[in-house]
Structure 1
């Protein structure tokens, strides 16, 4: 099996690339910065990436909730089918209405498919925009007191890599979460304990959050996305990790300890 990992330098993609390489599968990692360039905004780059590929991990940048994403995903699925790809593994956004539209497109593509549906990555606190907030000591978001089942990107990678190489995962939707619901206050307390530096969560109103993001290039989108997913719709646990690979998901506390040991916030 020849595998394609789109977004191979990102949080999930680089982990999946590593797993497939370790398993001995021929794998091609692509992004806007690889030798074989893949750019979602430049469809002319897709053909070279898809050449000779059997299964593809589809991670859409920046998010399936971005306006216009369904049209791009539909065009990509058609291109993949014409290139002879047999299976798509889609990383989808948990609780995102437009992501569900993209899931439907993949299901109806005529290709084999697996959906890996994930919410808030634990790694957002050390590999994403919130790393500096942790270092500075204040995480300011419009999440209120809504609990979130933070999911470890390592678990997402394990599930997605299994789906890429094993046909038993065909036609499955895996709702991947961590093992506990935690508020951002809970997360801040665990980050404090692991890092040894004081970290607090400061809830913002929607208006305050939008004002704070006024200079961010994706500010309006991020504010709209948070308003959508932090209304409580994701405040429940999934069993995707258990169903796909037969073990319990990693805890947020374990993530914090591993990130600190790796020097994430130093």
Structure 2
């Protein structure tokens, strides 16, 4: 492995960041990991931690926070980092950012972040994935699976859920191949599923009943807050689910095929393989 890291992974212990890190490890490529709990400390909400993380780095992978405040700070960070010598940025954004009808604060903030990246003076690639399948095994939706009820405000809308391993493969490729500079890729799985269909697939995979409970949006916010989420982050998650609820996400995207030349993994296949790991066995 080379000893001087040219790559920075911000959010390197998150769902996407650690998969990019694993890919770079496998290829013997040095990188710097930066997060609140890593050796190189980085906190979006502590600007004093920014300069040390990016010092001497050529290319950075950014997985920004969810809410409008965090997204605004991410935009400020990239402008500062580019002014201090960062040459290239790969940004994790969200599918549908910039599309008509995304009139929620979290989407407006994501548009502003993408614009900040493009205007920073650094070379850039933007990747916009659909909702992560791993939200059901590694994030807040995991508790719903374990409880047998997926309690969210998605109505009967569909989403083309994507395996985060596919995102990690795409991110690694675009980080290492500068032919992707200036491109924006939208990623998704091969088909859309409603939340009720997701619950059916998870029931099949786990061998126990899991049902979908459709909440009203404000009821959903109240439940998230009761679990310890901030009001701002809870409202941001509500707005993301509102896109599904309003049937604005019922389409597939070809970014995985464009970057990797292969098909993305289907949700049902992901669920069966994930169940074999024992993550949902209690």
* Structure 2 match to 1:217: 229
Seen in structure 2, the aligned counterparts of structure 1 residues 70 and 7 have a Cα distance that, compared at 3 Å, is: closer
Tell me the distance in 2 between the aligned counterparts of 1:191 and 1:210.
24
Which of 255-264 and 11-20 deviates more? 255-264
Deviations 1:26-65 (A, max 9, x none): 111110001110100111111111112111000112x1xx
Shift of 1:231: 1.9
2:273 alignment partner, one of 242, 245, 258: 258
Point out the more displaced range, 94-103 or 48-57. 94-103
Matches within 5 A, 1:165-176: 165-176=176-187
TM-score (ref. length: structure 1): 0.94
Which ranges in structure 1 are unaligned for 5 or more consecutive residues? none
Contact 1:69 1:102 in 2 (8 A): no
User: Could you tell me how far 1:185 is from its partner in structure 2?
Assistant: 1.0
Aligned to 2:91: 90
Measure the CA separation in 2 of the matches of 1:78 and 1:212. 36
**Partner residue, 1:67:** 68
Counterpart of 2:25 (choices 18, 21, 25) is 21
1:133 aligns with 2:172: no
What is the count of residue pairs matched by the alignment?
A: 263
Aligned partner of 1:181 in structure 2 is 192
Provide runs of 4+ in structure 1 moved above 4 Å: none
For the 8 Å contact 1:8–1:17, the answer to whether it is kept is: yes
The residue that corresponds to 1:155 in the other structure is 166
**Aligned-pair Cα RMSD in Å:** 1.5
How much has 1:253 moved relative to structure 2? Answer: 1.0
Secondary structure, counterpart of 2:33 in structure 1: strand
Counterparts of 1:122 and 1:36, CA distance in 2: 29
- In the alignment, structure 2 segments of 5+ residues that lack a partner are 97-106
Q: TM-score, normalised by structure 2?
A: 0.89
